[in-house]
Amino acid sequence: MAMGKEQISLLIGDGWTALRGGNTDAALDAFRRVLNDDAENIDAHYGLGLAQRSKGDKTSAKTAFETALRVCERELAQLRNGTNVNDLTTTRDDRYMMLIRMLGQRITEVSA
């Protein structure tokens, strides 16, 4: 049975709480549960990558970050309707632009 948005949000929150508390295994479990239901959830891929990096699994972390990056780039392109213009009148594209920069940094970190 598919999870609702509220349940996904709660699981993402549980994952972040576990990760901040040093319970990497619980964080991995929460993020993976979200991804089993919503395979393109950017927050879950990002959190999964951070948890994997924390466990020393740079290869899996890189894969998670790259997946999140692809989803962000696609979402940004859809928002921009095929143009490459920053919509300065709204904040709709700001989240994706910020995440793309952050994910690029994380990919560089785990690639070193």
Task: List the domains of the chain with CATH numbers.
Answer: 5-111 (1.25.40.10)
**CA-based torsion, 18, 97, 104, 34: positive or negative:** positive
How far is the C-alpha of 13 from the C-alpha of 30, rounded, in Å? 9
Tens of pLDDT, residue by residue, the chain (112 residues): 678 999 999 999 999 999 999 999 999 999 999 999 999 999 999 999 999 999 999 999 999 999 999 999 999 988 877 656 666 566 678 889 999 999 999 999 999 8
Under 8 Å between Cβ of 49 and 61 = yes
How far is the C-alpha of 7 from the C-alpha of 71, rounded, in Å? 21
CA-based end-to-end distance of the chain:
40
The token pair at 19 is 């990760």
User: What is the total residue count of the chain?
Assistant: 112
Q: pTM of the prediction?
A: 0.88
